[in-house]
Amino acid sequence: MDKNLDYRGRWRNKTVAFRVSQEEAEMLDTQVRLSGLTKQDYITRRLLHRDIVVQGNPRVYKALRNQMAEIYEELQRLEKCSGENDELLYTIQLVAETMNGLKEDD
């Protein structure tokens, strides 16, 4: 798909920008990496309430592997995983749901 066209072939000529915190940016980057989409396509689909369908490819598998390694390191560092670390729990849930979705497609 041409990067300047939307899914219906309409010209994308408007720019939308907004600020996020460092934590929000990291969460967004994680979600984008795990989706396999561009950040623009991911944000647009989320804003328009469209489904994010993850297509397994080497980039997505690498992102999942790296995310799981980060989670594993964080869990080793923590004495216990509790509700005090909501961002980690959210990321674990996101990775698990993504991996379950990929497993169903196989």
For the whole model, what pTM was predicted? 0.58
Q: Find out whether 49 and 56 touch, Cβ atoms under 8 Å.
A: no
The more confidently predicted of residues 23 and 12 is: 23
Q: Which H, E and C letters describe the chain, residue by residue? A: CCCCECCCCCECCCCCCCCCCHHHHHHHHHHHHHHCCCHHHHHHHHHCCCCCCCCCCHHHHHHHHHHHHHHHHHHHHCCCCCCCCHHHHHHHHHHHHHHHHHHHHC
Task: Give residue-wise pLDDT tens across range 17-76.
Answer: 999 999 999 999 999 988 888 898 899 999 988 888 777 788 888 888 888 888 877 776
> How far, in whole angstroms, is CA 100 from its chain's centroid?
14
